[in-house]
Amino acid sequence: MAVMTMIQAITDAMRVEMERDENIIVLGEDVGVNGGVFRATDGLQEKFGENRVFDTPLAESGIVGTAVTMAALGMRPIAEIQFGGFVYECMDQIATQAGRLRFRTGGRFQVPLVVRTPYGGGAKTPEMHSDSFEAYFLHTPGVKVVVPSNPYDAKGLLISAIRDNDPVIFYENMPLYRSVKQEVPEDAYTVPIGKANVVKEGTDVTVIAYGNMVRLSQDAIAAVEKERGVNIELIDLRTISPLDMDTIFESVDKTGRVVVVHEAVRTGGVGAEIIARINEEKILKLEAPCVRVTAPDTPYPPTLVEDKWLPSKGRIAAGIKKVLDF
Amino acid sequence: MLQILDTEGKLVKGQKAPNLSDDELKDIYRWMLRLRVYDALSIKLNRQGRLGFYAPLGGQEACQIGSMAALRKTDWLFPSYRDLGASLYHGWSIKDTYLWSRGQINGMKIPDDVNLFPPQIIIASQCIHAAGAGWKFNLKNEDHVAITFFGDGATSQGDFHEGLNFAAVYNAPVIFFNQNNGYAISVPLHKQTKSETIAQKALAYGMKGIRIDGNDILAVYKAVSEAAERARNGEGPTLIEAVTYRLGPHSMSGDDPTRYRPKSEEEEWKEGKDPVTRFRLYLESKNLWTEEWENEIEKEMKDEISVAIKEVQKAPIGEVEEIMEYVYEEMPVELKKQHAEVLSWKGAK
C-alpha cells in the first residue's frame, strides 16, 4: 500500500493498465510533456513514449472523435477533456458517435473509450471550466458516467472504466485532486461500475451524494446527528450511469427519508432522476417528500460567488432537517 | 482541375489513361451502371413507399466508383448517407442498404469482413473518424488507408477542420474525398465559402490537395490511386475536391431542386457532362462496349434489386426489446427493467 492523493491514484491507474495492455493510449491537450494541467498524466509519456501518450491539437471534438474510431478498431483510448466545462465541444462525438456506434451497428463495433475530465466547483477556475454536466450523460443512452469521491475508488473505478467495453465518462472533482490522501494498493484492482457505496449506515435519513459532495455531506451529517441524536445513512453513488438503485431502495426501506445532494444545477439533474425512481418504486415507504440540495438553476457563477452558490454543509444540514421535521 | 477524359470521352491532350486492363475498365463501367440503376430504382421504390430515406447519388457515380476501385478491400471506408454507391462497391449488400433505408433492425449490422462504418448522418463527423482510423493504422503499422466522403457543405463544419488537421498532424493515411456537387441541399457553394476552391484548403493543413473533374472516372481513379500510394508510403493525407453534380434532389423528402437551381444547369450536367455517358463513349472508342452488354448489366442489377427489396419486405422489422440489447455490452439493471416493461406492452392496445 502507498498513500496517494486522488490525482496520484488516477495517474497510477493509467500507469498499471498501460503496462498491462499496449492498446491503451492517452490523448488530450497538454497530457504529454506537461503531464496534464493538473498533472494527472504526469510521467506517462516519459514512461510509455510518444506513441502511447499524445499531446493532441487543441480540439475536443477531434480528440474524442479520433478516439471513437481508434476504440472501434481495437485500441483502448483514454481521452482527456481538459475541463468539464468544455464538454459541449465534443458532445456530438460522445453522445451521437461513441454512445451509439454499438447500437447503430447491431454490436459489430464497440467503443471502449474513457473520457476523463476534471469538474466541480471550489477550485476558483476561470468561468466555463467548473460546471457539473454529468446529468447530460445520464440522459444519454450508450455511455456510462463515473464520479469517484476518494483516491481508492478513483483508481479502482478508472481501471474498471478502462476495461469496460462501452464508453465511460470519468468525472474527476477538482477540489478532491489533492485534498484527501488515502492508502491505495499499488497493483491493479477494480471498483465495479454501477455499484454505489454505503459510506455510513444509518436508520433515519438517507443522504445520497457523489464527488466532493460526499465529504461535505459527511460533515453535515455529523452535525445533525449530534444535534438531533439521529442516525443518518450516507450513500456515495460512485456511478451516475447506470444508477445503483438497489442500494438506494434498500436504504429507503430503512429510512423513508431521502436527501439528494449535488453541485450541479437542480432542474433535470441526477437528483430528479433518483427521486423519480424512488417515487415509482418506494412511494409507500416514504415518510417525507424527498429533498434536493443543489446549486440553483443558473450558469456557473463568477469565482467569488461560487462558495455561496455551491451546496454547503449548512444547506445540506438544513435539507436533512427538512425531511426529519416533515 | 485534373481531367483525363473530356466530355466526349476522349483523352485530353497530354494526359495518359491510368494503367487499367480492359477487364478492369469494363468492371468499373459495370459498377457505374449498377449505381445508375440502383439510384433510379431506389427513387422509384421510395416513391412507391417501399423504401425509406434515400439520398440520390445519380451524377456522382464516377466519384464513388472511381475512388473505391483505386483502393483495396482491406482499406476502410467512412461514408456519408449519400455514399451508398461507394459502400456497395466496397462490399455492403443492396439488401442491407435497403434495411437501413427502411429503418429495419440490423440495417447497419455491417458484416465483419466489410471494412465499412455505417453511413454518417452528422455532417463532417466522419472526417474526424477517418483521421482516427488513419492514426490507428500508423500506430499499429497497418498497411490500410482510410477514405471518407463528404459534400461541399461539410467543409464549413468544425469537424472538417478538426479531421483534416488531426490527420495532417499525425501524418495519417487518409483520403478526404470531397464530392463538390455545388449545393448543400439548396445553398450554393459561394454562400458556403469564400475560398475559390475546396482543394486549396489542403495547403493550410500542410497536406496535398487536388481538384479534379469528378465526372471523369479516370481522373478520380488516378487521383485516388496516387493519394493511396502516398498514404501507404507514409506521406500522409490528401484532400481531393471532385467537382460533380447531384442530378436528383437532396433526398426524397420533398426537396425540389427547381427552387434553388436553374433547370438549364441541370440539363447541362445531364446532357453534356454525365459521368456514365462519358466513360461509355471512352469504352466504345476502345471497342469495349456493346448495347447487349449494357442491357445485360442493367437487367442483372434490376433483378438483384428486385430480389433485395422482396427480401427486406419479408425480413423482420425489429422489436423494441431487440434494439435494447445493443445499447451496452450488458444491459444495465434499469434497462432490464424497461425491457421487461416493453415485453408487457405486447398485446396491449
CB contact under 8 A, A96 and B139: no
**∠ at Cα A200 (A196, A204), nearest 5°?**
105
CA distance B136 to chain A (A): 6
Domains along chain A? 2-184 (3.40.50.970), 197-325 (3.40.50.920)
Rounded-to-integer distance, Cα B319 and Cα A305, Å: 51
Chain B contact for A65, CB < 8 A? yes
Residue B125 has a pLDDT of 98
Rounded-to-integer distance, Cα A314 and Cα B218, Å: 75
pLDDT for A235 beyond 80: yes
Residue A269 has a pLDDT of 98
Rounded-to-integer distance, Cα B158 and Cα B154, Å: 9
CB contact under 8 A, A97 and B135: no
Nearest CB partner across the interface for A92, out of B112, B122, B140: B122
- Average model confidence (pLDDT) for chain A? 97
Residue B346 has a pLDDT of 83
DSSP state of A60: H
Closest Cα to residue A94, out of A56, A66, A121?
Answer: A66
The model's confidence at residue A138, banded by pLDDT at 50, 70 and 90, is: very high
Instruction: Give the bridge partners for A145, in sequence order.
Output: A169, A241
Sign, Cα dihedral of B114, B104, B79, B283: positive
Residue A302 has a pLDDT of 95
- Residue A119's SS3 state is strand
Strands A182-184 and A2-4, bridge-based pairing: antiparallel
Rounded-to-integer distance, Cα B237 and Cα B206, Å: 9
CB contact under 8 A, A104 and B118: yes
Listed in sequence order, the residues at least 6 apart from B152 whose beta carbon sits closer than 8 Å to its beta carbon are: B178, B179, B180, B181, B182, B183, B184, B189, B192, B193, B198
Residues of chain A in contact with residue B106, where contact means CB-CB under 8 angstroms, are 106
Rounded-to-integer distance, Cα A72 and Cα B297, Å: 37
Residue A206 has a pLDDT of 98
- Interval A73-95 mean pLDDT: 97
- Residue ranges of chain B with pLDDT lower than 50? none
Look up B250 and say whether it is catalytic: yes
The ipTM estimated for the assembled molecules is 0.96
Kind plus residue range of the DSSP H or E element containing A79: strand A76-80
CB contact under 8 A, B128 and A242: no
Sign, Cα dihedral of A81, A84, A88, A93: positive
CB contact under 8 A, A194 and B333: yes
- Residue A1's SS3 state is coil
Cα end-to-end distance, chain B, whole Å:
62
- Name the pTM for this structure: 0.97
Rounded-to-integer distance, Cα A185 and Cα B295, Å: 73
Residue B349 has a pLDDT of 62
- Interval A296-303 mean pLDDT: 96
| Residue type present at position B264 | S
Kind plus residue range of the DSSP H or E element containing B77: strand B76-78
Cβ A102 vs Cβ A166: under 8 Å:
yes
Hey, which residues 237-276 in chain A have their CB within 8 Å of chain B? 241-246
Rounded-to-integer distance, Cα A308 and Cα A147, Å: 23
Nearest CB partner across the interface for B110, out of A105, A241, A245: A105
Closest Cα to residue B59, out of B192, B183, B186, B160?
Answer: B183
- Interval A175-197 mean pLDDT: 97
The model's confidence at residue A57, banded by pLDDT at 50, 70 and 90, is: very high
Count residue pairs from A and B with Cβ separation < 8 A.
Answer: 121
Closest residue in B to A96 (Cα) is B122
CB contact under 8 A, A69 and B105: no
Nearest CB partner across the interface for B125, out of A92, A106, A242: A92
- Residue reference for cell 491514484: A9
pLDDT for A102 beyond 80: yes
Strands A197-200 and A182-184, bridge-based pairing: unpaired
Mutate to test the interface with A, among B105, B106, B116, B117 (most CBs of A within 10 A): B117
Chain A contact for B25, CB < 8 A? no
Residue A60 has a pLDDT of 98
**DSSP letter for each residue of B196-257:** S-STTHHHHHTSEEEEEETT-HHHHHHHHHHHHHHHHTT---EEEEEE----S-SSSSS--G
| Residue type present at position A219 | D
pLDDT for A253 beyond 70: yes
